[in-house]
Amino acid sequence: MTAVLRDRDHWSSLVERISPPTRAWIDGGWRAARDEATFDAVSPRDGRTITAVARCDAADVDAAVTAARTAFEDDRWSGLAPAERKVLMVRWAEAIDANADELAALVSLEMGKPIADSRRIELRATRNTIAWFGEAADKVVDELPRVASDAVAMVTREPLGVVGAVVPWNFPLTMAAWKLGPSLATGNTVVLKPAEQSPLSALRLAELASEAGIPDGVVNVVPGFGETAGQALGRHPGVDVVTFTGSTDVGRMFLRYAADSNVKPVWLELGGKTPLIVLADAPDLDAAAAMAAWGIFFNTGQMCTAASRLLVQDRVADEVVSKIVEAARARRIGDPLDPGTELGPLVDATQRERVLGYVERGTGEGATLATGGKAALEETGGTFVEPTVFTGVRNDMTIAREEIFGPVLSVITFRDLDEAIALANDTPYGLAASLWTSDLSTAHRASRALRAGTVWVNCFEEGDLTVPFGGRKASGFGADKSLHAMEKFTTLKTTWIQL
């Protein structure tokens, strides 16, 4: 998919023409909440209400799970040959491609992602994920172990049934695709609960699945709040597996919901506190600094892998930090519907106050504010915050320990590699890490020692759908992406035939 990035007038006009979906998508059709309750979808670009959306609760979740269960049990999806599922999923990916401008505009409107990133990154990832897993649907094979000559043993991989998927607002379509792709490719049906901040794009995504020919009841979307719709999905005895991306605290809740209901498996991709380690022998300090800045300011820092801790060797720290501060001050803050915008708003006022609270905590604990740290463009009504850099940070400070989920960088210096690895690992999280060095031996030794699900060497946020993504420790467990993701939504059955 090649994205043609149009001008601001195109996006503004498109937003005016879009009539976003507002009701739950259940069993192939739109439904108001049973009690007709709604909540306001508010755009962080200007604080205006976009529309009122169905506020689903336990009754609506039950209806969606019932539809998904019926669709699973009558084999309208799981009974298809994998090659047939592949055709429909690829067709869905093509529909996403054909409607990419509309979907990108919805993402930018509802959660504030700059339109250049929504169109070129979010929509590309969404389309590619659905297509990739569709293509993989007929690549999953069973096993025929060698046993004694008087018996035949078969190991078959079967879909689990109904998948409850709960996704965050920072990448509303990408995260949905990461769950929907492997779930559907392996024959499951899905009930998706998008974040209350970003329901519109997910609802349109489900409608496109139907238009592509995916049967009714296979993909269902229930907008609502975590404490009602999310909890109901986690506790529902008709849900066979839950997959969740979000905060560590809410991840713990889903484990409790599973324990209190039908002991369903729960797969968690949670928070992070990614260290980006720059050694003095980095092959290109300019590139390392540029990537450190991009790694914390991209998506306004609202990324579980955000490079929120810069660990830089003391003898090059001043040089690297000065380049990052310069990049922070040059980053263009503005309307997410402007293709020239590099830093959009935070998702809502609550998140803005949370981020500013961490800035206050950082200065209070003795860190030095090198740049930023204030709300920005307040006259627009949007929830903007300046790109922020702290120096003189110790690894025991709150801003170095807790996930801020905003454009706030903590700079920590170290003397040698051993100290860098110790600092990098001294965190509750274990999602990702980045290392910059010219020494091959150092790269191998450090990547083995770093306790993270992904280690990037002389790069950041690189990879594709062939490699798994997941974490350790408080960052959760279970892989998204790659063929390994399909393992989460299947179960192994042994059949033994005595001859």
pLDDT of residue 425: 98
Residue 56: helix, strand or coil by DSSP? strand
CB 252 within 8 A of CB 412: no
pLDDT of residue 1: 47
**What angle, 0 to 180 degrees and rounded to 10, lies between the N-to-C axes of helices 440-449 and 417-425?**
30
8-270+475-496 and 275-464, same CATH topology = no
CATH number of 275-464: 3.40.309.10
pLDDT of residue 369: 98
**Res 468 pLDDT > 70:** yes
What are the backbone dihedrals phi and psi of residue 461, each rounded to the nearest 5 degrees, phi first?
60, 25
Average the pLDDT over 303-325 and give the result.
98
Residue 390: helix, strand or coil by DSSP? strand
Active site residues: 269, 304
CA 171 to chain centroid, in Å, comes to 5
Count of C-beta atoms within a 10 Å radius of residue 113: 30
Taking the C-alpha atoms of residue 36 and residue 51, their distance in angstroms, rounded to an integer, is: 15
Mean of all residue pLDDT scores within the chain? 97
Count of C-beta atoms within a 10 Å radius of residue 206: 24
Which of 246, 171, 194, 136 lies closest to 486, judged by CA?
Answer: 136
Percentage, residues of the chain above pLDDT 90: 99
pLDDT in tens, 384-427: 999 999 999 999 999 999 999 999 999 999 999 999 999 999 99
8-270+475-496 fold = Aldehyde Dehydrogenase; Chain A, domain 1 (3.40.605)
CB 239 within 8 A of CB 233: yes
pLDDT of residue 31: 98
- Residue spans of the domains in the chain: they are 8-270+475-496, 275-464
E strand segments, 167-313: 189-193, 219-221, 241-245, 266-269, 275-278, 309-313
Average the pLDDT over 423-438 and give the result.
98
pLDDT in tens, 129-159: 999 999 999 999 999 999 999 999 999 999 9
**Res 457 pLDDT > 80:** yes
The DSSP-derived string for 367-405 is -EEEE--SEE-GGGT--EE--EEEES--TTSHHHHS---
List for the chain the helix, strand, coil content (%; round to 5). 40, 20, 35
Residue owning tokens 């005895």 = 237
Average the pLDDT over 346-365 and give the result.
98
Q: For residue 293, what are the β-bridge partners? A: none
Which pTM value belongs to this model?
0.97
